[in-house]
Amino acid sequence: MLGNFEVEQCSFSKLRQFHERVLSFSDRFVKIHCKHCVSESIGALIVIGLFLSFLLAMVCTYFHVFPIYQPAVRTYTVHESDDLVAKCNVFYGKWIPDESYPLYNASQCPFAERGFDCVVNGRRDRGYQKWRWQPKNCEIPRFNVQEILGKLHGKRIVFVGDSLSRTQWESMICLLMQGVQDKRNVYEINGNKITKRIRFLGVYFSSYNLRIDFYRSVFLVQPGSAPRHAPKRVKSTVKLDKLDDMSKEWIDSDFLIFNSGHWWTPTKLFDM
Ligand SMILES: *[C@@H]1O[C@H](CO)[C@@H](O)[C@H](O)[C@H]1NC(C)=O
């Protein structure tokens, strides 16, 4: 498994190539078939259509008579009874330029990884740091570090995921460190340094009794070895119905932030 950000980005272009291949294949397939007799195809289509309708009717009847079927994954809908909540969907909006940003200087934050510090690595423009999220129908209050540190007193925040989660975890810590006078009061509990492969990092803000943790778990579920009689090319499995074993450590968290998305791609998941 690769935690390297550049490698992770590569998979997107591979995914696109894969889609293009699938599309061009289906294109060819349709062309070959169109050369054959049209009326015969229509007849066959009608027969197939009738058969599928029959099958569908049977299935519907079955589940109507025996309503035992339950979806494997249950989903819960949060009903937005509060009018304010319904009007303010913070996920619906856009990024807008804001000259008052950035909120911290990455070069001065001990928890910002050097590999992700664009300025230190030679980037000259600064515009990329000056963006803020603007929801469509409401305002997010400006980040007020003292107010947030006060609200997070005694809490435990847990980030779970890949290197993207790790950098979000770093940003959160750097944002909050802006409000801490003595930076020595913020430290990794095991004295560990940030690395790509590390499974756990926990940063403690001692003056606020606040923990901000990161767990590396790219699929969130349990990885496992190949089943006994699996084909040779199968090297490992993911158990979709079992959370990562580390999940027991997340139980008492106050905020749990997951990210896994771009590991579920052909190159990342299925090639493995
Ligand atoms: C950020 O910190 C570095 C190192 O202290 C400093 O050289 C740089 O000028 C700072 N950048 C800004 C925009 O303040």
Q: In this predicted structure, what is the pLDDT of residue 63? A: 57
Per-residue model confidence as pLDDT tens digits over 151-176: 999 999 999 999 999 999 999 999 99
105 C-beta closer than 6 A to ligand 1: yes
- Given the CA of residue 126, which atom of ligand 1 is nearest to it? 13
101 C-beta closer than 6 A to ligand 1: no
179 CA → ligand 1 middle, Å: 17
141 CA → ligand 1 middle, Å: 26
126 C-beta closer than 6 A to ligand 1: no
Residue nearest to atom 11 of ligand 1 (CA): 105
Per-residue model confidence as pLDDT tens digits over 135-154: 999 999 999 999 999 999 99
Region of poorest pLDDT, from 45-54, 84-93, 170-179: 45-54
105 CA → ligand 1 middle, Å: 6
| Mean pLDDT in residue range 56-80 | 54
What is the full DSSP assignment across the chain? ----HHHHHHHHHHHHHHHHHHHHHHHHHHHHHHTS-HHHHHHHHHHHHHHHHHHHHHHHHHHHH-TT---SS---PPP--SHHHHH--TTSEEEEE-TT--SS-GGG-TTS-GGG-TTTTT----GGG-EEEEESSS-PPP--HHHHHHHTTT-EEEEEESHHHHHHHHHHHHHHHTT-SSGGGEEETT-PPP-SS-SEEEEEEGGGTEEEEEEE-SSSEEEEEPPTT--TT--EEEEEEEE-GGGGGGTT-SEEEE--GGGSSIIIII--
106 CA → ligand 1 middle, Å: 8
171 CA → ligand 1 middle, Å: 16
Q: In this predicted structure, what is the pLDDT of residue 64? A: 56
Residue nearest to atom 6 of ligand 1 (CA): 107
Q: In this predicted structure, what is the pLDDT of residue 189? A: 95
Per-residue model confidence as pLDDT tens digits over 119-137: 999 999 999 999 999 999 9
Q: In this predicted structure, what is the pLDDT of residue 25? A: 44
Share of the chain above pLDDT 90, in %: 53
Q: In this predicted structure, what is the pLDDT of residue 58? A: 65
Q: In this predicted structure, what is the pLDDT of residue 264? A: 87
Q: In this predicted structure, what is the pLDDT of residue 52? A: 74
- Given the CA of residue 105, which atom of ligand 1 is nearest to it? 1
Mutate to test the pocket of ligand 1, among 100, 104, 107 (most ligand atoms within 8 A of CB): 107
| Mean pLDDT in residue range 243-266 | 92
* Confidence band for 21, pLDDT divided at 50, 70 and 90: low
Q: In this predicted structure, what is the pLDDT of residue 37? A: 47
For residue 29, pLDDT over 60 is answered with: no
119 C-beta closer than 6 A to ligand 1: no
Region of poorest pLDDT, from 22-31, 33-42, 219-228: 22-31
120 CA → ligand 1 middle, Å: 10
Region of poorest pLDDT, from 3-7, 47-51, 91-95, 232-236: 3-7
Give this prediction's pTM. Answer: 0.68
| Mean pLDDT in residue range 89-112 | 95
For residue 2, pLDDT over 50 is answered with: no
144 C-beta closer than 6 A to ligand 1: no
